Protein backbone atom coordinates (compact mmCIF):
# COMPACT_ATOMS: atom_id res chain seq x y z
CA UNK A 1 0.00 0.00 0.00
CA UNK A 2 1.30 3.49 -0.87
CA UNK A 3 2.38 5.51 2.21
CA UNK A 4 -0.07 8.37 1.56
CA UNK A 5 -2.96 5.95 1.16
CA UNK A 6 -1.92 4.08 4.31
CA UNK A 7 -1.61 7.30 6.29
CA UNK A 8 -5.00 8.47 5.04
CA UNK A 9 -6.66 5.27 6.18
CA UNK A 10 -4.97 5.52 9.58
CA UNK A 11 -6.20 9.12 9.91
CA UNK A 12 -9.78 8.16 9.04
CA UNK A 13 -9.70 5.26 11.51
CA UNK A 14 -8.53 7.34 14.43
CA UNK A 15 -10.76 10.27 13.53
CA UNK A 16 -13.77 7.99 13.71
CA UNK A 17 -12.61 6.07 16.81
CA UNK A 18 -10.74 8.31 19.20
CA UNK A 19 -10.40 11.93 18.11
CA UNK A 20 -12.89 14.57 19.19
CA UNK A 21 -14.66 16.23 16.27
CA UNK A 22 -14.51 19.59 18.07
CA UNK A 23 -10.91 20.86 17.79
CA UNK A 24 -9.31 22.84 20.57
CA UNK A 25 -8.93 26.58 19.91
CA UNK A 26 -5.33 27.56 20.65
CA UNK A 27 -3.86 31.07 20.54
CA UNK A 28 -0.07 31.21 20.48
CA UNK A 29 1.69 34.45 21.38
CA UNK A 30 5.32 34.18 20.42
CA UNK A 31 8.18 34.32 17.99
CA UNK A 32 8.84 33.47 14.37
CA UNK A 33 12.43 32.93 13.24
CA UNK A 34 14.05 31.83 10.03
CA UNK A 35 16.25 28.87 11.01
CA UNK A 36 19.64 28.39 9.35
CA UNK A 37 20.91 24.94 10.28
CA UNK A 38 24.28 23.28 9.67
CA UNK A 39 24.94 19.62 10.39
CA UNK A 40 28.42 18.97 11.81
CA UNK A 41 30.29 16.11 13.45
CA UNK A 42 30.43 18.13 16.66
CA UNK A 43 29.65 21.60 18.00
CA UNK A 44 32.73 23.86 17.67
CA UNK A 45 34.57 25.15 20.72
CA UNK A 46 35.05 28.86 21.39
CA UNK A 47 37.26 30.41 18.72
CA UNK A 48 37.25 27.26 16.58
CA UNK A 49 36.19 26.89 12.94
CA UNK A 50 35.19 23.45 11.66
CA UNK A 51 33.88 22.16 8.35
CA UNK A 52 30.22 21.21 8.46
CA UNK A 53 27.95 19.21 6.22
CA UNK A 54 24.34 19.69 5.16
CA UNK A 55 22.90 23.22 5.30
CA UNK A 56 19.18 24.02 5.41
CA UNK A 57 16.98 27.10 5.75
CA UNK A 58 13.64 26.51 7.43
CA UNK A 59 10.86 28.02 9.49
CA UNK A 60 11.38 28.26 13.25
CA UNK A 61 10.93 30.38 16.35
CA UNK A 62 9.44 28.92 19.51
CA UNK A 63 6.04 30.52 19.00
CA UNK A 64 5.71 29.45 15.38
CA UNK A 65 7.07 25.96 16.13
CA UNK A 66 4.45 25.46 18.82
CA UNK A 67 1.69 26.87 16.62
CA UNK A 68 2.56 24.45 13.81
CA UNK A 69 2.74 21.52 16.23
CA UNK A 70 -0.69 22.39 17.64
CA UNK A 71 -2.21 22.78 14.17
CA UNK A 72 -0.82 19.46 12.93
CA UNK A 73 -2.17 17.82 16.09
CA UNK A 74 -5.65 18.96 15.12
CA UNK A 75 -6.21 22.28 16.91
CA UNK A 76 -7.56 25.48 15.40
CA UNK A 77 -4.67 27.90 15.85
CA UNK A 78 -4.05 31.66 15.76
CA UNK A 79 -0.49 33.06 15.92
CA UNK A 80 0.12 36.51 17.42
CA UNK A 81 3.61 37.58 16.31
CA UNK A 82 5.78 40.21 14.64
CA UNK A 83 7.85 39.56 11.52
CA UNK A 84 9.92 41.81 9.28
CA UNK A 85 8.84 43.52 6.09
CA UNK A 86 11.46 41.50 4.23
CA UNK A 87 11.80 38.32 2.17
CA UNK A 88 11.96 36.16 5.29
CA UNK A 89 8.75 37.80 6.52
CA UNK A 90 6.96 37.05 3.26
CA UNK A 91 8.08 33.44 3.51
CA UNK A 92 6.87 33.35 7.12
CA UNK A 93 3.34 34.28 6.09
CA UNK A 94 3.38 31.68 3.34
CA UNK A 95 4.62 28.93 5.67
CA UNK A 96 2.15 29.71 8.45
CA UNK A 97 -0.80 29.92 6.07
CA UNK A 98 0.26 26.60 4.54
CA UNK A 99 -0.27 25.04 7.98
CA UNK A 100 -3.84 26.46 8.10
CA UNK A 101 -2.93 28.77 10.99
CA UNK A 102 -4.74 32.10 11.18
CA UNK A 103 -2.35 35.00 10.39
CA UNK A 104 -4.69 37.94 11.12
CA UNK A 105 -2.53 38.95 14.11
CA UNK A 106 0.90 38.49 12.53
CA UNK A 107 2.16 42.05 12.05
CA UNK A 108 4.94 43.06 9.65
CA UNK A 109 7.25 45.50 11.41
CA UNK A 110 8.27 48.44 9.16
CA UNK A 111 11.82 48.63 10.53
CA UNK A 112 12.98 45.46 12.31
CA UNK A 113 13.94 42.38 10.27
CA UNK A 114 12.44 38.94 10.71
CA UNK A 115 14.12 37.01 13.52
CA UNK A 116 16.91 34.58 12.60
CA UNK A 117 18.32 31.54 14.41
CA UNK A 118 21.72 30.02 13.56
CA UNK A 119 21.81 26.34 14.57
CA UNK A 120 24.58 23.74 14.62
CA UNK A 121 23.47 20.10 15.03
CA UNK A 122 26.04 17.41 15.88
CA UNK A 123 26.12 13.70 15.08
CA UNK A 124 24.34 12.86 18.34
CA UNK A 125 21.44 15.16 17.45
CA UNK A 126 22.35 17.78 20.08
CA UNK A 127 22.38 21.42 19.06
CA UNK A 128 23.80 24.87 19.75
CA UNK A 129 21.66 27.89 18.82
CA UNK A 130 22.14 31.67 18.58
CA UNK A 131 19.06 33.83 17.95
CA UNK A 132 18.84 37.37 16.57
CA UNK A 133 15.37 38.41 17.73
CA UNK A 134 14.68 41.11 15.16
CA UNK A 135 10.95 41.89 14.94
CA UNK A 136 10.17 39.43 17.73
CA UNK A 137 11.53 42.00 20.19
CA UNK A 138 8.97 44.52 18.88
CA UNK A 139 5.86 42.54 19.85
CA UNK A 140 4.06 44.90 22.24
CA UNK A 141 1.22 44.75 24.80
CA UNK A 142 -0.78 46.76 22.26
CA UNK A 143 -0.57 43.78 19.90
CA UNK A 144 -2.12 41.67 22.67
CA UNK A 145 -4.95 44.15 23.22
CA UNK A 146 -5.70 44.04 19.49
CA UNK A 147 -6.09 40.26 19.75
CA UNK A 148 -8.37 40.30 22.81
CA UNK A 149 -11.36 38.88 20.95
CA UNK A 150 -9.60 35.69 19.86
CA UNK A 151 -7.80 35.28 23.19
CA UNK A 152 -11.08 35.65 25.08
CA UNK A 153 -12.65 32.82 23.07
CA UNK A 154 -9.63 30.48 23.11
CA UNK A 155 -9.49 27.20 24.99
CA UNK A 156 -5.74 27.58 25.57
CA UNK A 157 -3.28 30.47 25.40
CA UNK A 158 0.27 29.22 24.80
CA UNK A 159 3.24 31.41 25.74
CA UNK A 160 7.06 31.24 25.64
CA UNK A 161 9.82 33.75 26.43
CA UNK A 162 11.24 34.80 23.05
CA UNK A 163 8.93 37.85 23.17
CA UNK A 164 9.32 40.86 25.50
CA UNK A 165 8.36 39.91 29.06
CA UNK A 166 5.90 42.82 29.34
CA UNK A 167 4.03 41.42 26.34
CA UNK A 168 3.97 37.91 27.77
CA UNK A 169 2.60 39.26 31.06
CA UNK A 170 -0.07 41.28 29.23
CA UNK A 171 -1.18 38.15 27.36
CA UNK A 172 -1.33 36.04 30.52
CA UNK A 173 -3.39 38.68 32.34
CA UNK A 174 -5.82 39.05 29.47
CA UNK A 175 -6.33 35.29 29.20
CA UNK A 176 -6.82 34.95 32.97
CA UNK A 177 -9.39 37.77 32.86
CA UNK A 178 -11.44 35.67 30.43
CA UNK A 179 -10.93 32.36 32.23
CA UNK A 180 -8.69 30.90 29.52
CA UNK A 181 -6.17 28.16 30.35
CA UNK A 182 -2.66 29.64 30.17
CA UNK A 183 0.26 27.33 29.32
CA UNK A 184 3.73 28.83 29.77
CA UNK A 185 6.81 27.17 28.34
CA UNK A 186 9.46 29.24 30.20
CA UNK A 187 12.09 29.14 27.49
CA UNK A 188 14.63 30.50 26.84
CA UNK A 189 15.41 30.22 30.55
CA UNK A 190 15.18 33.40 32.61
CA UNK A 191 14.03 34.49 36.05
CA UNK A 192 10.34 35.34 36.28
CA UNK A 193 8.22 37.35 38.69
CA UNK A 194 4.92 36.45 40.31
CA UNK A 195 3.04 39.01 38.21
CA UNK A 196 3.43 36.55 35.34
CA UNK A 197 3.29 33.22 37.15
CA UNK A 198 0.16 34.09 39.13
CA UNK A 199 -1.80 34.03 35.85
CA UNK A 200 -0.30 30.76 34.56
CA UNK A 201 -2.36 27.56 34.73
CA UNK A 202 0.28 25.12 33.49
CA UNK A 203 4.05 25.69 33.44
CA UNK A 204 6.31 23.34 31.50
CA UNK A 205 10.02 23.95 32.14
CA UNK A 206 12.80 21.56 31.24
CA UNK A 207 15.37 20.66 33.90
CA UNK A 208 17.59 23.71 33.29
CA UNK A 209 14.63 26.09 33.35
CA UNK A 210 13.16 24.44 36.47
CA UNK A 211 16.47 24.87 38.29
CA UNK A 212 16.66 28.54 37.35
CA UNK A 213 13.06 29.23 38.41
CA UNK A 214 13.23 27.36 41.73
CA UNK A 215 16.87 27.27 42.81
CA UNK A 216 16.50 23.50 43.25
CA UNK A 217 19.04 21.20 41.60
CA UNK A 218 16.88 18.82 39.57
CA UNK A 219 17.30 15.09 40.14
CA UNK A 220 14.96 12.16 40.75
CA UNK A 221 14.60 13.04 44.44
CA UNK A 222 14.12 16.80 44.14
CA UNK A 223 11.33 16.99 41.56
CA UNK A 224 8.55 17.28 44.13
CA UNK A 225 10.31 20.10 45.98
CA UNK A 226 10.91 22.00 42.73
CA UNK A 227 7.28 21.57 41.69
CA UNK A 228 6.07 22.82 45.08
CA UNK A 229 8.09 26.02 44.70
CA UNK A 230 6.51 26.61 41.31
CA UNK A 231 3.01 25.88 42.62
CA UNK A 232 3.58 28.46 45.37
CA UNK A 233 4.11 31.12 42.69
CA UNK A 234 0.81 30.42 40.93
CA UNK A 235 0.70 27.55 38.42
CA UNK A 236 -1.75 24.81 39.44
CA UNK A 237 0.02 22.28 37.22
CA UNK A 238 3.75 21.74 36.73
CA UNK A 239 5.26 19.61 33.97
CA UNK A 240 9.04 19.21 34.15
CA UNK A 241 10.30 17.77 30.89
CA UNK A 242 13.47 15.68 31.21
CA UNK A 243 14.26 14.58 27.66
CA UNK A 244 15.10 10.87 27.59
CA UNK A 245 14.16 10.65 31.30
CA UNK A 246 10.51 11.44 30.60
CA UNK A 247 8.09 13.99 32.09
CA UNK A 248 7.29 14.70 35.75
CA UNK A 249 3.73 15.91 36.35
CA UNK A 250 2.51 17.63 39.52
CA UNK A 251 -1.05 18.87 39.99
CA UNK A 252 -3.88 18.95 42.51
CA UNK A 253 -4.43 15.27 41.69
CA UNK A 254 -0.90 14.41 42.89
CA UNK A 255 2.35 13.58 41.15
CA UNK A 256 2.85 11.33 38.16
CA UNK A 257 5.91 10.23 36.18
CA UNK A 258 5.55 9.73 32.44
CA UNK A 259 8.40 7.63 31.00
CA UNK A 260 10.01 8.72 27.74
CA UNK A 261 9.56 6.91 24.45
CA UNK A 262 12.80 5.31 23.30
CA UNK A 263 13.81 6.46 19.81
CA UNK A 264 17.06 7.09 17.90
CA UNK A 265 17.54 10.88 17.97
CA UNK A 266 18.68 12.63 14.80
CA UNK A 267 17.98 16.26 15.75
CA UNK A 268 16.55 17.46 19.08
CA UNK A 269 15.93 21.00 17.80
CA UNK A 270 12.37 22.04 18.59
CA UNK A 271 11.43 18.90 20.56
CA UNK A 272 10.27 20.98 23.52
CA UNK A 273 8.22 23.17 21.20
CA UNK A 274 6.56 20.13 19.64
CA UNK A 275 5.71 18.85 23.13
CA UNK A 276 4.15 22.14 24.23
CA UNK A 277 2.26 22.79 21.01
CA UNK A 278 0.75 19.32 21.06
CA UNK A 279 0.01 19.56 24.79
CA UNK A 280 -2.05 22.70 24.11
CA UNK A 281 -3.85 20.96 21.26
CA UNK A 282 -4.74 17.93 23.38
CA UNK A 283 -5.90 19.82 26.49
CA UNK A 284 -9.56 19.27 25.77
CA UNK A 285 -12.38 18.66 28.21
CA UNK A 286 -12.59 14.97 27.30
CA UNK A 287 -8.90 14.20 27.97
CA UNK A 288 -7.00 14.00 31.22
CA UNK A 289 -3.80 15.97 31.74
CA UNK A 290 -1.80 12.72 31.82
CA UNK A 291 -3.30 11.60 28.50
CA UNK A 292 -2.60 14.97 26.86
CA UNK A 293 0.99 14.86 28.13
CA UNK A 294 1.46 11.31 26.85
CA UNK A 295 0.27 12.27 23.37
CA UNK A 296 2.53 15.34 23.45
CA UNK A 297 5.52 13.22 24.55
CA UNK A 298 4.86 10.84 21.67
CA UNK A 299 4.86 13.77 19.24
CA UNK A 300 8.16 15.03 20.65
CA UNK A 301 9.68 11.56 20.34
CA UNK A 302 8.69 11.40 16.67
CA UNK A 303 10.13 14.89 16.08
CA UNK A 304 13.66 14.05 17.25
CA UNK A 305 13.92 11.33 14.60
CA UNK A 306 13.77 14.06 11.92
CA UNK A 307 15.76 17.15 10.97
CA UNK A 308 14.40 20.61 11.63
CA UNK A 309 12.02 22.29 14.06
CA UNK A 310 8.68 22.92 12.37
CA UNK A 311 9.49 20.37 9.69
CA UNK A 312 9.74 17.65 12.33
CA UNK A 313 6.27 18.19 13.86
CA UNK A 314 4.13 15.09 13.25
CA UNK A 315 0.57 14.95 12.00
CA UNK A 316 -2.22 13.73 14.26
CA UNK A 317 -2.49 10.37 12.51
CA UNK A 318 1.26 9.80 12.94
CA UNK A 319 1.03 10.40 16.68
CA UNK A 320 -1.84 7.96 17.10
CA UNK A 321 -0.13 5.38 14.89
CA UNK A 322 3.10 5.72 16.89
CA UNK A 323 1.23 4.99 20.10
CA UNK A 324 -0.62 1.99 18.70
CA UNK A 325 2.11 0.26 16.68
Look at the chain and report how many structural domains it folds into: 1
Q: What single DSSP character describes residue 323?
A: H
Residue 18: in which H helix or E strand, if any? none
Task: Measure the CA–CA gap between 64 and 67, rounded to whole angstroms.
Answer: 5
Distance CA(196)–CA(29), nearest Å, equals: 14
pLDDT (0 to 100) of residue 81: 98
Residue 40 three-state SS: coil
- Cα 11 to Cα 5, 138, 156, 320: the distances in Å are 10, 40, 24, 8
Q: What is the pLDDT of residue 287?
A: 86
Answer yes or no: is pLDDT of 21 > 60: no
Distance separating alpha carbons of residues 102 and 106, to the nearest angstrom:
9
d(CA 217, CA 116): 32
286 counts as catalytic? no
Residue 55 lies in a domain: yes
Q: Half-sphere exposure of 302 toward its Cβ, with a 13 Å CA cutoff?
A: 26
**Does residue 3 lie in a domain region?**
no
Q: What is the predicted pLDDT for the residue at 309?
A: 80
Q: 284, 291 in Cβ contact below 8 A? A: no
What confidence tens digit (pLDDT) does each residue in 296-311 have?
999 999 999 998 788 8
User: What's the pLDDT score for residue 9?
Assistant: 37
On whether residue 18 sits in a domain, the answer given is yes
* Res 320: pLDDT: 92
Counting other chains too, the contacts that 242-251 makes at CB distance below 8 Å and 24 or more residues apart are: 242/206, 242/207, 242/218, 243/206, 243/207, 243/268, 243/271, 246/297, 247/293, 247/297, 248/223, 249/289, 249/290, 249/293, 250/223, 250/224, 251/289
Sign of CA dihedral 134, 139, 140, 141: negative
Q: Is residue 131 part of a domain?
A: yes
Distance CA 274, CA 277 (A): 5
Which strands, in side-by-side order, build the sheet including 156-159? Answer: 106-109, 76-84, 25-29, 156-159, 181-184, 202-203, 237-241, 247-251, 254-258
pLDDT confidence of 97, banded at 50, 70, 90?
Answer: very high
Q: Residue 22: its pLDDT value, please?
A: 53
| C-alpha span between 245 and 261 (Å, rounded) | 9
What band does 12 get if pLDDT is binned at 50, 70 and 90? Answer: very low
Q: What's the chain's average pLDDT?
A: 91
pLDDT of residue 58: 87
Q: In the chain, which ranges are continuous DSSP H helix?
A: 3-17, 62-72, 87-98, 141-146, 148-152, 165-177, 194-197, 207-214, 223-232, 271-282, 289-303, 316-324
| Phi, psi (deg, nearest 5) at residue 249 | -120, 130
Question: Does residue 124 lie in a domain region?
Answer: yes
Please state, as a whole number, how many other Cβ atoms lie within 10 Å of the Cβ of residue 57: 12
Q: What is the arrangement of strands in the sheet containing 127-132, beginning at the earlier edge strand?
A: 55-60, 33-39, 115-121, 127-132
* For residue 19, pLDDT beyond 70: no
Supply the range of the domain harboring residue 284: 8-324
> Is the pLDDT assigned to residue 3 strictly greater than 60?
no
Average pLDDT over residues 120-138: 91
Q: Which positions ≥6 away from 241 have C-beta within 8 Å?
A: 204, 205, 206, 207, 247, 272, 275
The answer to whether residue 2 sits within a structural domain is no
The model's pLDDT over 242-274, given as tens digits with 9 standing for 90+, comes to 998 999 999 999 999 999 999 998 888 889 999
pLDDT of residue 30: 97
Residues in contact with 204: Cβ distance below 8 Å, sequence separation at least 6, in sequence order: 183, 184, 185, 186, 238, 239, 240, 241, 275, 276, 279
**CATH code for the domain of 61:** 3.40.1190.20
- Considering 123, 155, 273, 286, which one is annotated as catalytic? 273
pLDDT of 267-287, one tens digit each? 888 899 999 999 999 998 778
Residue 90 pLDDT > 50: yes
**SS3 for 99?**
coil
**Cα 56 to Cα 311: distance, rounded to the nearest angstrom:** 11
- The Cβ of residue 5 has, within 10 Å, a number of other Cβ atoms equal to 9
The answer as to whether 191 is a domain residue is: yes
Please report whether residue 115 resides in a domain: yes
Amino acid sequence: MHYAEKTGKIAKFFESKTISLMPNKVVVVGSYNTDMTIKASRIPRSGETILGGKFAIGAGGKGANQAVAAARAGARVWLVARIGNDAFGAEALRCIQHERINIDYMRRDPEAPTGVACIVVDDAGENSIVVASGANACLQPEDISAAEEIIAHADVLLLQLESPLATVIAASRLAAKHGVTVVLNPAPAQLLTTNLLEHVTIISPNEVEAEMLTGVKINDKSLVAAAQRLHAQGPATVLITRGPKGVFISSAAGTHFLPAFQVAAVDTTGAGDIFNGCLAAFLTKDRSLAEAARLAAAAAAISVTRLGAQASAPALAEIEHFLHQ
